[in-house]
């Protein structure tokens, strides 16, 4: 089974999901992304995918404080994307506790920058995010076309030292209509060294099984957002957080696993 990576997209300090990348079609799921991160950790998330939607559109880094809090309270790696377009921003994110950064617009606009970043921080800490619609790489928070073919761009990134590509089919993102399996297969066929993290469209357990068939094509993980928030998987255990202020995460996790939480705590 591919590694399932929960997604936390942050806009104006809140945990949201966009439909097909549209900032005008937004659903707010949690007002506190840090609590959301704790919830995914308690549900045994091994890593988190965090996107700063404001920074992705060049609207400042107003969410960096809350992202730093996530890094402080979690004991699992966080990968961060959105608006990271300079060496100084990469260094600041890593210093904050982020495990690795995703370069999207910066990679498309300046491929040389990707090489520079990998040389400075390693291919483990710097990965490339390819967000595509109809095979074209989109930039500036998915709002602009780049004129770049997604597969050709991925091949160039691999030649420049990239060893992990997060590929999002924007037309599927947030829809829960199923992942674009042919697109991932085509991408994997044209790559030799880089691994692929799939993103976009997962709506049920069967979709994870479909992605599992892509392992021979280098797809070893998948980012899931809306389907997790909508509780589409029977193994999920959701509860409200209004009575959990100040609760130690380790103590809470142990109590949850032992079934020691009261109904009010579980929600």
Phi/psi-derived region of residue 88, left when phi > 0, alpha when psi is between -120 and 50, beta in every other case: alpha
User: Is 9 one of the catalytic residues?
Assistant: yes
Instruction: Show Cβ contacts of residue 130 under 8 Å, excluding neighbours closer than 6 positions.
Output: 104, 137, 150, 153, 154, 157, 165, 166, 167, 168
Type and span of the H or E element at 3: strand 3-11
Catalytic residue among 9, 52, 54, 207: 9
Name the residue with tokens 């370069």: 103
Catalytic residue among 52, 54, 131, 169: 131
pLDDT at 174: 84
Mark the ranges of the chain whose per-residue pLDDT is less than 70.
21, 142, 234-267
Contact indicator for 202, 171 with CB cutoff of 8 Å: no
What three-state secondary structure class fits 241? coil
- pLDDT tens readout for residues 175-233: 899 999 999 999 999 999 999 999 999 999 899 999 999 999 999 999 999 998 888 87
Sign of the CA dihedral with 224 first, then 230, 233, and 235 last: positive
Q: How far apart are CA 120 and CA 182, in angstroms?
A: 34
Question: What are the residue ranges spanned by the domains of the chain?
Answer: 3-236, 239-267
Instruction: Report how far Cα 76 is from the mean position of its chain's Cα atoms.
Output: 14
pLDDT at 155: 98
For 3-236, give the CATH class: alpha beta
User: Is 31 one of the catalytic residues?
Assistant: no
* H helix runs in 145-260, sequence order: 150-159, 181-189, 205-212, 226-229, 249-257
Instruction: Show Cβ contacts of residue 74 under 8 Å, excluding neighbours closer than 6 positions.
Output: 37, 38, 41, 48
Instruction: Show Cβ contacts of residue 248 under 8 Å, excluding neighbours closer than 6 positions.
Output: none
Written as six digits, the tokens of 154 are 């991925």
Alpha carbon distances (Å) from 139 to 129, 136, 189, 255: 10, 10, 24, 44
């Amino acid at each position: 089974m591919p590694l399932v990576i929960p997604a936390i997209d942050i806009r104006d300090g809140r945990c949201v999901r966009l439909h097909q990348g549209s900032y005008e079609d937004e659903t707010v799921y949690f007002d506190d992304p840090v609590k959301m991160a704790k919830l995914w950790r308690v549900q045994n998330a091994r890593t988190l995918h965090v996107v700063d939607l404001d920074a992705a559109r060049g609207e400042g880094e107003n969410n960096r404080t809350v992202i730093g809090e996530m890094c402080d309270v979690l004991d699992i790696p966080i990968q961060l994307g959105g608006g990271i377009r300079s060496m100084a921003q990469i260094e600041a994110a890593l210093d904050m506790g982020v495990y690795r950064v995703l370069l999207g617009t910066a990679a498309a606009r300046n491929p040389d920058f990707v090489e520079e970043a990998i040389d400075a921080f390693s291919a483990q800490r710097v990965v490339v995010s390819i967000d595509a619609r109809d095979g074209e790489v989109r930039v500036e928070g998915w709002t602009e076309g780049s004129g770049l073919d997604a597969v050709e761009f991925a091949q160039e990134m691999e030649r420049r030292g990239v060893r992990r590509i997060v590929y999002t089919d924007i037309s599927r993102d947030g829809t829960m209509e199923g992942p674009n399996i042919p697109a991932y297969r085509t991408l994997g066929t044209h790559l030799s060294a880089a691994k692929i993290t799939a993103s976009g469209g997962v709506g049920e357990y069967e979709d994870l099984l479909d992605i599992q068939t892509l392992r021979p094509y280098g797809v070893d993980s998948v980012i899931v957002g809306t389907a997790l928030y909508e509780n589409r998987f029977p193994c999920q255990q959701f509860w409200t957080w209004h009575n959990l202020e100040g609760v130690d995460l380790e103590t809470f996790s142990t109590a949850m696993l032992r079934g020691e939480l009261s109904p009010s705590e579980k929600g």
